Amino acid sequence: MADIKNSRSLPPIMTLTDRAASRLNKLYEGAEKGKVLRISVGTRGCSGLSYEMNFVDDSLPTDEKVEDKNLVLYIDQKATLFLIGTVMDYETKELESGFTFTNPNEKGRCGCGESFHV
């Protein structure tokens, strides 16, 4: 039997910055009212993995529910090991804006930043 005194808690699957929470809250109140953001990891790009985001009406039975800053996200169960400890932000730049991910599990990204590997 494992000694639970020596076990440590895992970091949350994902947390939101204040900017990401603000943007997501605006989407939940506006164009995506009644839906929830679902995040998964797919295969794409030169490094092999990419973040996928879709607004869904309901979670799948295997999805993980993440709550942060009074907002709910669903995480595809198959993506949880790739995402543990990830921080989701929202950045606005001169020519583009969007959600970004700071993932401690990433070992590298492709040159264009579209995909990553662990």
Tens digits of per-residue pLDDT, 31-42?
A: 999 999 999 988
What is 56-116 written as a DSSP string?
A: ESS--TTPEEEEETTEEEEE-GGGHHHHTTEEEEEEE-SS-EEEEEE-TT--EE-TTSS-E
Tens digits of per-residue pLDDT, 57-67?
A: 999 999 999 99
Instruction: Give the chain's domains with CATH numbers.
Output: 12-106 (2.60.300.12)
What's the whole-model pTM score? 0.81
